[in-house]
Each structure stands twice: as C-alpha cells, then as structure tokens.
Amino acid sequence: MRSRGKVFLVGAGPGDPELLTLKAVRCLERADVVVYDRLVDERVLSYCRGRRIAVGKARGCHSWTQTAINGLLVDLGQAGHQVVRLKGGDPYLFGRGGEEWDAVTAAGIACEVVPGVSSALAVPASAGIPVTHRGTSSSLTVVSGHDHPSQGTTDWATLASLDGTLVVLMGMQHLAAIAEALVSNGMSPHMPAAVVQEGTTARQRVATGTLSTIVVAAAGLQAPAVIVIGDVTSRAFELSLPTEQRSIA
C-alpha cells in the first residue's frame, strides 16, 4: 500500500531564479518540506512556504551522505508529507536523482520528476556560446570532471577524438589535468575553450582561450563553473560579455 506522501525531484535550474519552470514554482509553493542543495539560490527558496532542510554537499565536506538524504526523503514521504527535493540544474544530470527515485519508490512512496534547465546548456548560452552551430558543431557531449582524468571511468582518449562540443561539469579543480589529458590524447592544443563561472547570474564571469591557454585565462575563476571545449566557443557573442566579465588568453 502506497503512502499518501509524495516526493517531487525538482530541478532548480542553473542559478537565475527566472529560469525556474512554472511547475517547479508550483511544487515549491505547495510543498510541506523542501530538501535543497547547497548551490540553490536564496531567491529560489523564497517560493517555499513549508519547512526547509539544507542537505548541501561540497567537495571534501559531505555533511549529508547520499544514503542519509535518501533516508530523509523516505522518512518524510512515509510521514505523509508533500516533499520537494530541490536540486541544481536538472535532477537527472549528475544530480543523483535516479538514486533518489529508486530509494523513494522502493519504499512505496509516489515520486515525480520535474525537469530543470541544465547548466550544461544554459550556462554556455548565457556566455554567448551556442553548444551546436550549423557548419561548426552538430553534436554535444556532456561529461563530469569531478574525478581526476587519471581516475574514474571517463574515456578521455575517445573524447579527444570526437568532433563537436564537449561540456565538462564540476571540473574546475581538474581543469589543467583535463586540458592535458585531451591534448595528450590527440586534441589540438589550439582547440578553443571557455570557462563560465556562475553562469546566468549577476556574478557570471567568462574566460576564453585554447586548451593550451585556458588554465591561465581562468586562473581567477572558481567553482561552480562550466568548461566548454570546441570551435563553438570562438563564436561567443561579444555583446553578452561585459568587459568586466571577460578574460581572454
């Protein structure tokens, strides 16, 4: 028998609260409890009417493990609450939304996914970079840069051989190693590259260059940031990059 509680896995988008979907806003307004990530903008949380629980995780500081978050969602759902699990970007793109879905539904609790605008698409666009462009790039590959290229399961040799655009999320800590891995596997050191920090927000900063120069160009930038690699980065529209936000090497 299913609990009367329900969990909504809601994407909060890339940062700008105006990029929330209407459905996400309705879920936030109606929720009894909102369980939210560290990078969710406070203006997004202003739509919440119920209790808030912060379960943010940062590299090297996991105050909440994924197992604990799963258990919290199950407990709240079994107690009959309408729960929003609010996650940056889209719940299913490196957001562990699938794991949370499995945990909640295995406990007999109804669950619904509310897709969000992904930073993999919105952040490059906010910097004037079209991730696909006729005659330049007809494909897009999105990977996690969370692990060092010498670890994990990402096949950097295959990525280096692909045509099209490569977007790396959560990769700022390993930017130098990522650039080196791609070049050592055959990608041109002159391949255009960009880093967009806190894209879609008033704090957005953009660095552009090539694989051989992007580390220097982005030296002052910090996470959260999106790395974009491919010829499309050279098509950034200058009008979208105020001088104070632009760094070129």
The catalytic residues are 37, 57, 170
156 and 191 in contact (C-beta within 8 Å)? no
Is the distance from CB of 228 to CB of 131 less than 8 angstroms?
Answer: yes
- List C-alpha distances in Å: 67 to 53, 71, 79, 80, 165: 16, 6, 18, 20, 34
C-alpha 238, offset from chain centre: 24
- CA pseudo-torsion sign 26, 18, 16, 132: positive
